[in-house]
Amino acid sequence: MTGLYNRLALREDFPNYSKQEVGVAMIDLDDFKRFNDNYGHAYGDLVLTRLGRYLQKDWMNEHLRCYRYGGDEILIIAYGLEDGDFVKNCRFFKLNMLN
C-alpha cells in the first residue's frame, strides 16, 4: 500500500548494514489509531499511502531506504552519506511535516 519496503526486505537487507556506518530514524505517526477510529481506515490508508509516496519521491535513493516497520511506523536507514547529511535531512523532514 505504501510502496515502501517491508520488514521482510529489512531482514534481507540487514546484513548489508552491519559492515558500514548508518543513520537510523523512526517515524511514528502520533495518535494514528485515534485518527483511524474517528475518520475510518480508508482515510488512514490514504495518509499512509501519501507518506509512502512522499518518502519515495523526496527521500529514497541509493543511500537511503524506507521500510514500513509497523502499522504506522516507518524505519529509515541511510548509509554512505557525508557526516551530518542524514541529520540535516531528518530536520528538514520534521519541519515539512509540521507545516
Task: Indicate the SS3 state at residue 82.
Answer: coil
Catalytic residue (one of 30, 31, 72, 85): 72
Task: State how far the Cα of 83 lies from the Cα of 38, in Å rounded to an integer.
Answer: 42
Buried b (16+ CB within 10 A) or exposed e, 75-85: bbbbbebeeee
Active site residue 83: no
Task: State how far the Cα of 59 lies from the Cα of 64, in Å rounded to an integer.
Answer: 7
Q: Which residues are catalytic?
A: 72
